[in-house]
Amino acid sequence: MPLITWGPALQVGNKTIDEQHQKLIDLVNRLNDAMRAGHSKEVLNDVLTQLVDYTVYHFGTEERLMAEHHYEFSAAHKNEHQKFVQEVGSFKKRFDQGQATISSDIMTFLRDWLARHIMATDKKLANALQKSAAR
């Protein structure tokens, strides 16, 4: 059973962003499945690394779109991205050093942050992008 299910509530209406969100959700679900199945640290590390790398790539896409469309709330949006990257980067460092494990707590954090960010912050961005493109 997936930790996060992609559906209309998570769609923001921007094809690029929606496709990237689907990929992020897939990676979160893969990490959760690997944790629940008791896979090795190497398998967990591989999926976690993919998730971290793809998150940075996705945030870059959103930030590029914000700059291109002169999005008025870009500073606050970028700040959310930076805090998330710092939090996950810190966790990844502890994981790599053997000081943390993939647990239901970190999975709940990832699920809740991603869903909240998509449904609030990214929907606001997508609406602004749509209005900007219509001008």
Q: Which tens digit of pLDDT belongs to each residue from 64-74? A: 999 999 999 99
CA angle 134, 69, 122 (to 5 degrees): 90
Q: Measuring CA to CA, which residue among 4, 132, 114, 117 is closest to residue 67?
A: 132
CATH class of the structural domain 13-134: mainly alpha
Q: Work out the percent of the chain whose per-residue pLDDT is above 90.
A: 96
Determine the average pLDDT of the residues in 56-61.
Answer: 98
Q: Work out the percent of the chain whose per-residue pLDDT is above 70.
A: 99
> Above 80 in pLDDT, residue 134?
no
Q: How many CB atoms lie within 10 A of CB 1?
A: 7
Average pLDDT, the chain: 95
User: Per residue in 27-62, is it b (16+ CB within 10 Å) or e — as a string?
Assistant: bbbbbbebbeeebeeeebbebbeebbeebeebbeeb
CA angle 80, 43, 90 (to 5 degrees): 30
Quote the pTM value.
0.94
Cα of 27 vs its chain's centroid, Å: 9
